[in-house]
Amino acid sequence: MQTSENILELKGVKTYFSTTKGVVKAVDDISFSIGRGEIVGLVGESGSGKSMTSLSIMGLVPQPAGKTVAGEILFHGEDLLKKNDEQMRQIRGDKISMILQDPMVSLNQILSVKYQIGEVFRYHDKSILGSLKEMCIGVLKKVKVPSPELRVNDYPFQFSGGMCQRTIIGMGIANGPDLLIADEPTTALDVTIQAQVLQLMKQVQEETNAAILMITHDLGTVAQLCTRVLVMYAGRIIEKAPVNTFYKNPSHPYAIGLIKSVPVLGRKSDRLYSIEGQPPNLLNPPTGCRFAARCEQAMPICTQEYPPEVSLEADHQVSCWLFAEKGEQ
């Protein structure tokens, strides 16, 4: 789809959990790619498999219940799924990084900030420029934590939530990664801090030219930050589009619903649009389109067969029978 400049490409990735009740298909046959320096948004309801997608890329799907059972995850053309633990460890924190949702619990409360930043360098054979401490101070400086020389000796419980998340972002970009995955980096923060953190991420991206996979619930963030959007529903990607196209011309009924449910300043409406019904259970998902049960335009075929991915434009794909050939008959 994208050119040779793709740094990450997922092809038919499936991540399943085996539970006593059966197999939970958290990520089911998803494919997408991210180009160098691109910021791609991944949106979808809670439980749709966004975090599992990112953990699959990191090779950190919760063991032993979960496993990536099929597909390819090509990073610079090499399949990450074929790498062994040590190779993956060396990539993590160096070439690929990730930021988690809740900064207050993502840092170990009883180890100093200095130690925890230092880990990023210590385990990646970095030639230490100056002392480790100075490098840590440099990280804090870059993400604008005030008086980094003093704060570097602190413990995370002495930091505010925003400062913790800045620190985590700092750790994420410390080694100049090619890909940064941000899993709802602002959800746990105050509204005022949210804007600052997003601002920081954008700035960081411009400086380092890292590609970012931005996972979020918030379409506002997507509009502000991203170049492209992936919409996920019940373990599958149902629409991929550039941000402008997505806002102007969403195609999948679920995506249309999503856009309609965003409150727009100035538009007068007494009630926000919301999509009826519940997302399906990922344990024994329905055959056919997973959104069919909630879809106002559902046709008989929708419940029988999963729709193929259709290209509407060069970089706009949708999986919906409304646009596929068989569906029109």
Partner 1 sequence: MQRYIIKRFLFGLLTIFSTITVVFFVMRGLNPADPTAIMLPPDATPELQQRLKVKFGLDKPLIQQYGIYLKNGIVGDFGESFRYSEPALDLVVERIPATLQLTVSSLFFSVLIGMIVGITSGVKRDSLFDRVGRQLSLIGMAVPSFAIALFFILTFGVMWRIFPISGRGGLDHFVLPVVSMSLYGIAAFIRLSRSSMIEVLKSEYVVMAHIKGVPKIKIILVHALKNGCIPVITILGLVIPGLVMGSVVIETIFSWPGVGNLVMVSIFARDYPVVQVIVIFISILIVMSNLMVDILYAYLDPRIRYQ
Partner 2 sequence: MDTLEAEGSVEAKSRARNRIPYIGLGFISIFLFVVIFGQWVAPYDYDYWDMANITQPPVWLEGGSWEHILGTDPLGRDVLSRIIHGSRYSLAIALSCIAVYGTIGIILGLISGFLGGNVDMGIMRLCDLWMGLPPIITAILVVSVMGPSSLAIIVYIGLSGWPGYTRIVRGETMSLAQNDFIRLARVAGCSKFRIITSHIFPNIVNTLTILITLDIGGLIILTATLSFLGLGTQPPSPDWGLMMNEGRQYITYAWWLIVFPGVAIMFAVLGFNLVGDWLRDVLDPKQKLR
Contacts to ligand ATP by CB under 6 A = 17, 19, 24, 26, 44, 46-52, 62, 65-66, 282
- Least separation in angstroms between CB 185 and partner 2: 13
Contact 97, 170 (CB under 8 A): no
Q: Is 147 helix (H, G, I), strand (E, B) or coil?
A: coil
Q: Out of 51, 54, 116, 319, which residue is the one contacting Mg ion (CB under 5 A)? A: 51
Nearest to 177 by CA among 42, 79, 36, 51: 36
The residue whose two tokens read 């953990």 is 55
How do beta strands 39-43 and 228-233 pair? parallel
Residues that bind partner 2 (CB under 8 A): 17, 19-21, 24, 46-47, 51, 62, 65, 100-101
- Least separation in angstroms between CB 281 and Mg ion: 17
Question: Closer to partner 2 at the Cβ: 52 or 201?
Answer: 52
- Least separation in angstroms between CB 276 and partner 2: 22
- Judged by CB under 5 A, the stretch of 46-54, 221-229, 283-291, 293-301 that binds Mg ion is 46-54
Region 79-118 residues binding partner 1, contact defined as CB under 8 A: 85, 89-94, 97-98, 100, 102, 105-112
Contact 177, 94 (CB under 8 A): yes
Contact partner, 20, from partner 1, partner 2, ligand ATP, none, Cβ < 5-8 Å per class: partner 2
Rounded Cα–Cα distance for residues 213 and 220 (Å): 16
* Residues forming beta bridges with residue 72, ordered by sequence position: 11
Q: How would you class 282 by CB atoms within 10 Å of its CB: exposed for 0-12, middle for 13-18, buried for 19 or more?
A: buried
Q: Out of 79, 123, 187, 190, which residue is the one contacting partner 1 (CB under 8 A)? A: 123
**∠ Cα 81 83 89 (to 5°):** 105
Question: Closer to partner 1 at the Cβ: 92 or 240?
Answer: 92
Contact partner, 77, from partner 1, Mg ion, ligand ATP, none, Cβ < 5-8 Å per class: none
- Least separation in angstroms between CB 205 and partner 1: 18
Rounded Cα–Cα distance for residues 52 and 66 (Å): 9
- Least separation in angstroms between CB 12 and ligand ATP: 18
- Least separation in angstroms between CB 187 and ligand ATP: 8
Query: Residue 273 — φ and ψ, nearest 5°?
Result: -70, 140
Residue 95 corresponds to which amino acid?
A: K
Contact 282, 265 (CB under 8 A): no
By CB under 8 A, name the binding residues for partner 1.
58, 60, 64, 85, 89-94, 97-98, 100, 102, 105-112, 119-120, 123-124, 155, 157-158, 168, 171
